[in-house]
Structure 1
Amino acid sequence: MDGTHRAIIIEKEIYWPNGLTLDYGEQKLYWADAKFNFIHRSNLDGTSREPVVQGDLPHPFALTLYEDTLFWTDWNTHSIHACRKQTGEDRRKIHSDIFSPMDIHVFSALRQPTVPTPCSLENGGCSHLCLLSPATPFYQCACPTGVQLLDDRKTCRNGPTQVLLLARRTDLRRISLDTPDFTDIILQADDIRHAIAIDYDPVDGHIYWTDDEVKAIRRSALDGSDAQFVVTSQVNHPDGIAVDWIARNLYWTDTGTDRIEVARLNGTMRKILISEDLDEPRAIVLDPVAGYMYWTDWGEVPKIERADLDGTERLVMANTSLGWPNGLALDYHERKVYWGDAKTDKIELGALSSL
């Protein structure tokens, strides 16, 4: 039950396996196949397979057991059926006229027995999840998705320490880089209509994003909670966003107003930095240590530009062999800038000082 020792136990004569249930007393596995219209059983390792109900099952879905009776739901008959679990005899319909019958379970002390386990006492000493296992020591401590288990094998970190943040139009997702599976977690921020750009403030732990449909800049906690609006007025098509985590400012580009603006992280003290010679400004990234901002413009004359963080000393870094420069990223250590071009279908890079 800790996810290890995965094994295939049935792989022949199986097509649409739906329902699945266990007979704990006789150590048997039962399953229904809606394509082959049968209910079969086997030992728990897949051996000694035999039919229980064969044919005349339009679309069996879910299974459960109670003492000597097997119950199942059927999508086509819209009913709950039953039979004797050993022979399949005494078949009967016990409830009908059910709209779309899905899962079914029996609640009984016989089906949910209580036994002492390593997880019974103080969660096995685990800080988060205690997962039972048939192998010594018969349990494993585990952590939420993307969170590392510390060296004591019992305690999880408070959360992920290295993450990818993904804006995916109608939701925001977090992908932990601490673990090798790269599973994405949907953040619980509500009412996201058309998220485009996203950035993170490591000091206060806020995520900031632009929403092109509601024409606003929003923020939330890293888990998506406490979502709030930061900038809502005179925002047309906010495309790029970047957090200055040192000076505590927020920068964004707007392809509707053709501006680059800045404000405090709470949206106050707003200022237009650049409003001339901008056609379609998109991505923006900051190097607050060096005092520079960089942005892409995919307008009629596509280019990548740089300016001081106060908008002065503006400089074109690249304006040849560009089509639709979109994404932009800085490598602070190597002093490189990366960009993606949606027209040339390339990801390119150059030195920050010699583009």
Structure 2
Amino acid sequence: MDGTNRQILIYTGLRRPFGIELDTTNGYLYWTSIYSDKANIERVKLNDLSTRTALVKTEMEVTYRLVLAATDGKMYWCDSWNKVIEEANLNGTNRTTIATGLDYPFRIDIYGNYLYWTDSGVIYRVDITTGESSIENFFSIESMDVGANETINVIP
């Protein structure tokens, strides 16, 4: 594979696409658009590119990352500008906020029953199956001096 057979899927009307995710169960491609008054989350059916739809398109600013839990019918994202972690159904309905008042959430992922995210040197997690609102400080970097000594202090 050398990239000579690559294919452009979508090139019109994109506003800085950033995070992409594939829903292989249902055959969709999802992506986030960032840094715009039109920041949003969109999707398109992979076998029918005319099905492009904006799913979440209000109160969004800088959404770098999107993660899908397709078998549960959910998507999760972090908005670094609005300082929130949010979720919605895969069709964009039932949007809810999981965490607010964050510093700068940047990365997000799912493993097992937990949703993990980074926020200014801290890794957080929350159990997404229980519906509990408690957020756990899973891992913290107290200080980082990347240089000659490459010192990283970790607090469990």
**Could you tell me how far 1:226 is from its partner in structure 2?**
2.5
**Could you tell me how far 1:306 is from its partner in structure 2?**
0.4
Report the counterpart of residue 354 of structure 1 in structure 2. Answer: 132
CA distance in 1, matches of 2:93, 2:50: 21
CA distance in 1, matches of 2:116, 2:50: 31
CA distance in 1, matches of 2:44, 2:56: 13
Report the counterpart of residue 277 of structure 1 in structure 2. Answer: 59
**Could you tell me how far 1:285 is from its partner in structure 2?**
0.6
- The reply to whether residue 245 of structure 1 matches residue 59 of structure 2 is no
Report the counterpart of residue 326 of structure 1 in structure 2. Answer: 106
Superposition misfits of 4+ residues, deviation over 4 angstroms:
none
Q: Secondary structure at the match of 2:116?
A: strand
TM-score, with structure 1 as normaliser: 0.34
CA distance in 1, matches of 2:118, 2:5: 33
Question: Equivalences for 1:1-355 in 2 at 5 Å?
Answer: 188-189=2-3, 226-255=5-34, 256=36, 257-265=38-46, 267-299=49-81, 301-320=82-101, 322-331=102-111, 333=112, 335-341=113-119, 344-352=120-128, 353-355=131-133
CA distance in 1, matches of 2:2, 2:78: 30
Unpaired segments ≥5 residues, structure 2:
134-156
Task: Provide Cα deviations, 1:76-105, integer angstroms capped at 9, x if missing partner.
Answer: xxxxxxxxxxxxxxxxxxxxxxxxxxxxxx
Q: How many residues align?
A: 128
CA distance in 2, matches of 1:309, 1:294: 9
Task: Provide Cα deviations, 1:14-56, integer angstroms capped at 9, x if missing partner.
Answer: xxxxxxxxxxxxxxxxxxxxxxxxxxxxxxxxxxxxxxxxxxx
Greater RCO (Cα-Cα under 8 Å, separation 6 or more): 2
User: What is the alpha-carbon root mean square deviation over aligned residues?
Assistant: 1.6
CA distance in 2, matches of 1:351, 1:268: 36
**Could you tell me how far 1:296 is from its partner in structure 2?**
0.7
**Could you tell me how far 1:354 is from its partner in structure 2?**
2.6
CA distance in 2, matches of 1:244, 1:305: 18
The structure number with the bigger radius of gyration is 1
TM-score, with structure 2 as normaliser: 0.75
Letter in structure 2 aligned against 1:243: L
**Could you tell me how far 1:228 is from its partner in structure 2?**
1.4
**Between structures 1 and 2, the one with greater strand share:** 2
Per the alignment, do residues 262 and 324 of structure 1 end up closer, same or farther by CA in structure 2, a change over 3 Å counting? same
CA distance in 2, matches of 1:311, 1:351: 21
CA distance in 2, matches of 1:305, 1:315: 6
CA distance in 2, matches of 1:236, 1:277: 16
**Could you tell me how far 1:246 is from its partner in structure 2?**
0.6
Letter in structure 1 aligned against 2:30: Y
> Does the 8 Å CA contact 2:77/2:108 hold for their aligned counterparts?
yes
